[in-house]
Amino acid sequence: MNPPLLDVRDLSISFETEEGRLDAVIGSSFKLDPGKTLAIVGESGSGKSVTALALTRLLPEPPARFVSGEILWKGADVLKMTPRQLRKIRGGEIAYIFQEPSTSLNPVHTIRSQIAEAIRLHRPEVSDIDAEVVKWLDAVGIVNPAQRMRDYPHQLSGGMQQRAMIAMALSCQPDLLVADEPTTALDVTIQAQILDQLRELRERLGMAVILITHNFAIIRGLCDQVAVMFRGRIVEFGSSEEVLSRPQHPYTRALIDCIPKLGAGHKRLHTIDYAAIERAL
């Protein structure tokens, strides 16, 4: 048996803040096999982004501190890697896309020059860089890519910027794409289009994906596994089928109850009843 691509064991991360120590991630464990998709779901502040950034040590240390645990990437502990090893992994092996394209796209450079730089850095063997840029813009559904690549980010719509960011991440051919709330800033139709495209590309490229979301409804059909985070802890981890059909934790049940039922119309708007969760814990 090959080791999993990613094996996070008993990970705890805290922050030193003015109000004292904040335990953002507490004893987190999960695994991901090559080519598989994991959803990390949970409310705001539950530790999803901190977990994602920790994978390549992108958290500012301090205030962040790794209290315990291991992050095994292809069998090697990220927490013991040298800065040089980490640079190789970031972008090249583990790529990120964020909710806000502005966190990845630089406003003063064209789309072409930004994707080209990523390719040069992580895939020095590529000789025709423009052709490669066009290929990835086309792959994410940007029409007329040879012309669009000469645009600056502000010349593209929000959805197109998001696609350009995905193209940049994919152009490095990562083994793992971490998508942190990639579509929540977009309208629902464009969200669905981009998620569809991600699904198709994941299958074609055979890469693993970690999809971070508030939205339980998009997991079905898109993710193999689900980790549910609640106040810094992974309270549930399993195949999405298992978790959706037999949720164990009261918070997961509450989340599932919030998924709008097909054909149910908009009569009832569910909200999460935290007091009921506390009572059930």
Ligand X SMILES: Nc1ncnc2c1ncn2[C@@H]1O[C@H](COP(=O)(O)OP(=O)(O)OP(=O)(O)O)[C@@H](O)[C@H]1O
Q: Which is nearer to Mg ion, 24 or 169 (CB)?
A: 24
Provide, rounded to whole angstroms, the least separation between the CB of residue 43 and ligand X. Answer: 7
Sequence letter at residue 88: K
Q: Which does 44 bind (CB under 5 to 8 A by kind): ligand X, Mg ion, none?
A: ligand X
Q: Which of residues 49-68 bind Mg ion (CB under 5 A)?
A: 49
The type of residue at 24 is A
How many whole angstroms separate alpha carbon 228 and alpha carbon 41?
Answer: 5
Instruction: Label residue 137 exposed, middle or buried (CB < 10 Å: 0-12, 13-18, 19+).
Output: buried
Cα within 13 Å of Cα(281), Cβ side: 11
Question: In whole angstroms, how close is the CB of 226 to ligand X at the nearest point?
Answer: 15
Q: Which residue sits closest to Mg ion, CB atoms considered?
A: 49
- Calpha distance 260→256 (Å, rounded): 9
Residues that bind ligand X (CB under 6 A): 15, 17, 22, 24, 42, 44-50, 60, 63, 214
| Smallest separation (angstroms) from ligand X to the CB of 51 | 7
In one-letter notation, the amino acid at residue 168 is M
How many helices (H) does the chain have, and how many strands (E)?
A: 10, 10
Residue 214 Cβ, how far from ligand X at the closest point, in Å?
A: 6
Q: Binding segment for Mg ion among 40-48, 120-128, 190-198, 234-242 (CB under 5 A)?
A: 40-48
Which residue, 137 or 179, is less far from Mg ion as judged by CB? Answer: 179
Which residues touch 264 (CB under 8 Å, ≥6 apart)?
none
Establish if 46 lies at the interface with Mg ion (CB under 5 A): no
Footprint of Mg ion (CB under 5 A): 48-49
